[in-house]
Amino acid sequence: MVSDAPLPQEVAVTILLDGGTQQTVTIQSNNMLLQELFETLVAPPENRPQRLFQIPITEGKAILCFPSDRLVGLVTEPPIILRQQPQAEPTNATDSLLPGM
């Protein structure tokens, strides 16, 4: 999901939440939290698994808690670019209604 370019050891991530709240945290690039944030962001809101993010802030003296459906964006420094898979266009309107879909 993350580009092939090597990631820096630390990434400053500004978490943008519904309603305009934002918080910047520094995350190690190999921390699963970074991947979980991106996976949540790329999932359509109606298909996001419900989870509660609990992210330490202010050097561990506080925790930012928010449900996954409130995440609306991420700003990363340095920039992290995701490879996106092109989505196939349905040939007609009934294609999306196939059994098991």
pTM of the model: 0.74
The reply to whether 3 falls in a domain is no
Lookup result for tokens 């990434």: 11
Helix, strand, coil % over all residues of the chain, rounded to 5: 25, 35, 40
| Domain carrying residue 73 | 10-84
Whether pLDDT at 28 is above 60: yes
How confident is residue 82, by pLDDT bands cut at 50, 70 and 90? Answer: confident
Q: What is the pLDDT of residue 2?
A: 47
The reply to whether 94 falls in a domain is no
Which residues are CB-contacts of 6 (< 8 A; sequence separation ≥ 6)? Answer: none
- In the chain, how many domains are there? 1
The span from the CA of 80 to the CA of 29, in Å, is 10
Average pLDDT, integer, range 67-72: 94
Q: Is the distance from CB of 7 to CB of 29 less than 8 angstroms?
A: yes
The DSSP element (H or E) to which 42 belongs, if any, is helix 32-42
The reply to whether 101 falls in a domain is no
The reply to whether 51 falls in a domain is yes
Measure the CA dihedral 73/78/80/81, to 10°: 100
Q: What is the pLDDT of residue 89?
A: 53
Q: What is the pLDDT of residue 76?
A: 95
